[in-house]
Amino acid sequence: MCGIVGYIGDGQAVPIILESLKMLEYRGYDSAGVTIFNGSLETYKIAGRIKNLEDIIPENVNGSTGIGHTRWATHGKPETRNAHPHISSNVSVVHNGIIENYMQLKERLTGLGYEFKSDTDTEVIAHLLHFNMNCNGKKYLLDGLTETIKELEGSYAIAALCAEEPGILAFARKDSPLVIGIGNGSNYAASDVTAFLKHTKEVIYINDNEIGLLKPDSIDIFDLDGNSISRDTETIEWTLEAAEKAGYEHFMLKEIHEQPTSIQNTFAGKLSELEGTVTLDELYLERDEIKRLKRVTIIACGTSWNAGILGKYLFEKLAGLHTDVETASEFRYSNPVLCGEELTIAITQSGETADTLAAVRSSSSYGCRSIAITNVVGSTITRESDSVLYTRSGPEIGVAATKTFTAQLVALYMLAIHLGRIRGVVSANEAKDLIVGMKRLPGQIQKILNKKEMIKECAAQFADKRDCFFIGRYLNYPVALEGALKLKEISYIHAEGYAAGELKHGPLALITDETPVVAIATRGHTYEKILSNIKEVKARNATVIAVADDDDTEIDKYVDIVLRVPSSHELLAPVLSSVVLQLLSYYTALAKDCSIDKPRNLAKSVTVE
């Protein structure tokens, strides 16, 4: 959500910043802008795409220092006047986050004579920074920004320039991601490493309540009391090529096809089918602590929440642990009843989801141990949690999560088996069966991908529908939720996922011959029940598409179309079904000519509440 870029060095800032902003397009945005020091601060911004911004920047704008921004509207409509950067005389600011006390600050600054030209909360930062630098004795940019952020309530990642300090780029961070890239004779600031990965893989992650300065040859970081902070650099392991399309029409399709590899990477070196064990050395939980656990609370949003629902079934069956799944945005306000003998599991693809971070902090205040499941090394969640289980999927650019979702499922399987073996709930033989099945998943997914043309044909038949239902039971219920989410995200078809047994409690009223129903009907102990639910919707003239096992010949008697998955262990089938539904959603959106990688109104990383 939004993207910040800052550059200072010996190159031309305009092409570097524009290129970096394009690398952040996947985060979601509705306007873009830059400020370049070209003897003075020159600012260009416009609603719409970065191409629009390129068209309004004169060719003669030279300068080796600049900041840029892609905005996703929170305060104020997506209009040019609300685009960043925001200016106050000799100061320019870009900001990600939400300033909660901006109205009080705006009233105060208006009373001091400052004129506001936008509807954003960010403009108060620019005017407040100018005031703090100029109205109580002349101050340098760092001192002015330090005073400014002490007055801000809410979340922020900030990059700022001052015309009177042309060789400096200032930054600050609280509850919104910010990372520094270390180049050769140049330095970078950004919301995400993809922004500058073409130029450097050496990075420093900025923590909450830290502030600093970039110069072409130095990086200085301070706490809010002015104490210098020393921070080791980290090296990004993946390449820029991993974040490019590699010949696929869309990032989403590329990432669907990367799932055999991402799943393999997630469990590599951790599974032993000979011993029936999962080795998770990265978990800082003693065996006695695991045995004493009374409950698990899973905290997540969106797709990660759907993964958490499956995790609930796994932890209860395999580890004998009562498990609750909480929407992160509600958890922190719900007065949760927690005790010290609980485990909190936070699932977040980006590691920067604001609601999930806040929920983990709330949970930690009760003394709960925490594990983060995330895809991004060095993200904020990795520093907020006691332990981290990485999914190692590589960069995911498409807004609709695909490979990170199935990798999250694999991480949950591993964690459930690990806890279950220690707690004596799962036998070695039961664990061996699951582990053997997990190791087969990459090859089984590849078989699905090899038959994607049938899924494409199915999607073309239903792309003109207005509504669609997804139904499933037990482990297939979260698959139904995720399938519906994917379809609505990228095709804009109204789609709902239901526990199939709930059809009689209201949803059947909406079933007509114009409402296709996707039934996840892989074999398991609820198979006969889902067949009954399929008969219910067929009795209302619905067209039914079933996702079923390769060797299931019974299902053909009751449905219109069958999309096949390789037969697998009952607990593992949701991974395979999810891949089918990802492809179904993708090809439906393709048939409708939708913006698949950048669906309207959505952002990849939701870094504000």
H/E element, 254: helix 251-257
Determine the Cα–Cα distance for residues 114 and 106; give it in Å rounded to an integer: 9
For the chain, the straight-line distance linking the first and the last C-alpha, in angstroms and rounded, comes to 11
Known catalytic membership, residue 368:
no
CB 525 within 8 A of CB 573: no
CB atoms within 10 A of CB 504: 11
Is 51 annotated in the active site? no
Q: Please, what is the Cα angle at 447 between 443 and 452, to 5 degrees?
A: 140
Say which residue the tokens 């910040």 belong to. Answer: 4
The phi and psi torsions of 169 (rounded to 5 degrees) equal -125, 120
Maximum alpha-carbon separation in the chain: 83
1 CB neighbour count, 10 Å cutoff: 25
Report the candidate in 90, 77, 76 with the shortest Cα–Cα distance to residue 37: 90
Q: Which residues are CB-contacts of 232 (< 8 A; sequence separation ≥ 6)?
A: 204
Given the residues 2, 301, 368, 458, the one annotated as active site: 2
Beta strands in 446-523 (DSSP E): 467-472, 494-499, 517-520
Output the six-digit token pair for 235: 């090296």
DSSP 8-state code for residue 129: H
Catalytic residue among 45, 270, 312, 604: 604
CB contact set of 60 (below 8 Å; sequence gap of 6+): none
Report the C-alpha gap between 445 and 24 in whole angstroms: 29
Residues pairing with 561 in the sheet: 545
Q: Which residues are identified as catalytic?
A: 2, 604
